[in-house]
Amino acid sequence: MDQAGVLREMKRNVMFPAIERKRYNGNTRVIAVTSGKGGVGKTNIAANLAYIFSKMGKRTLLLDADTGLANIDIILGITPKYNLCHVLRGEKTLSEAVVEGPGGIKILPAASGIPGMAELSKGQKFTLLEELDELDEDFDFMLIDTAAGITDNVMYFNMAAKEIIVVVSPEPTSLTDAYALIKILYQNYKARCFMLLVNMAKDSNEAKGVYTRLSNATNHFLGLPIEYLGYIPYDQNVRKAITKQRLLAEVFSDSKASNSMFKIIEKLCLKQPKDYENGTIKFFGRS
């Protein structure tokens, strides 16, 4: 069964039937999920996409890269014993800090409110690169939930990925901050490939309008085209799932927002990752 067929089969059964794992091909697709502004639903999207990938039988690692204010563990309702802070301090290996979440996704949680973690040093960044390359388990996908904004950490985690998804909402401030993020990544770090995901849109027309406004700006002022990945409609079930500390795709798999996430997954699966090359530092550099 091809990727699109797998997705259709998943949608026919809200309980997600077991799907035979594909043989690992030796290449980890590293995707950063980022935003210029907080509150656009970036973390929730990253976690749900990771869950769907995992339920497809894809070995998936979700990295909480908001090293100052981590919250993936809260969204998932898990209480990890160790986190990225222990790894960067040399107290634990990355394998010891990784925990299993819903659907079999592997999660590398971060710490919150710990001095020295909001901005990683060069040594800490090097340690993380080494630890990822020494992981015993091979992954098909690694999703990085970056912090919001334009800090050095945000730049680092985006440039360590092979693909960048920029999440925006229809709010004007979200568009302004997304443009600032893309501009810095493009002009200062030579990133050229961006996929725009519009969240909490009223409908497809509003989402396309958001994309058009941002795309026109990047084309006109930067000479940079950006790709439209899709949109997720406003859905009250999102808030219900967050309150339950469960994933939307897990408890409301037939909701409007979940259906849109499946379409986004299908589009990602049909892409050729070799088309994406941002920066020089890469996680899983061995691939």
What is the DSSP code string of 30-56?
EEEEEESSSSSSHHHHHHHHHHHHHHT
Q: Within a domain: residue 22?
A: no
pLDDT of residue 16: 42
pLDDT surpasses 70 at 286 = no
Q: Count of CB atoms within 10 A of residue 202's CB?
A: 12
Mean pLDDT across 36-65: 97
Confidence (pLDDT) at 23: 39
**Widest Cα–Cα separation across the chain:** 50
Instruction: Assign residue 124 the CATH number of its domain.
Output: 3.40.50.300
20 within domain boundaries: no
What band does 1 get if pLDDT is binned at 50, 70 and 90?
Answer: low
Q: Does 19 map to a domain?
A: no
In a domain, 15, yes or no: no
Q: How confident is the model at residue 18 (pLDDT cuts 50, 70, 90)?
A: very low
Which range marks the domain in which residue 99 is found?
A: 3-7+28-275
Query: Do the domain assignments include residue 287?
Result: no
Phi-psi sector, 149: left (phi>0), alpha (psi -120 to 50), beta: left
pTM of the model: 0.89
pLDDT in tens, 108-160: 999 876 766 778 899 998 889 889 888 878 899 999 999 999 999 999 999 99
How many domains in the chain?
A: 1
Find out whether 138 and 25 touch, Cβ atoms under 8 Å: no
Specify the range with the lowest mean pLDDT, choosing from 19-33, 77-91, 177-191, 209-223: 19-33
Angle at 268 between CA 265 and CA 272, to 5 degrees: 155
Tokens matching residue 151? 């800090």
Task: Output the pLDDT for position 11.
Answer: 56
% residues pLDDT > 70 (the chain): 86
Residue 42 falls inside a structural domain: yes
Q: Which residues contact 33 (CB under 8 A, 6 or more apart)?
A: 42, 45, 46, 49, 143, 144, 145, 146, 165, 167
13 domain residue, yes or no = no
- The answer to whether position 12 is within a domain reads no
- DSSP 3-state of 260: helix
pLDDT tier at 274, thresholds 50, 70, 90: low
Phi and psi of 84, rounded to 5°? -60, -30
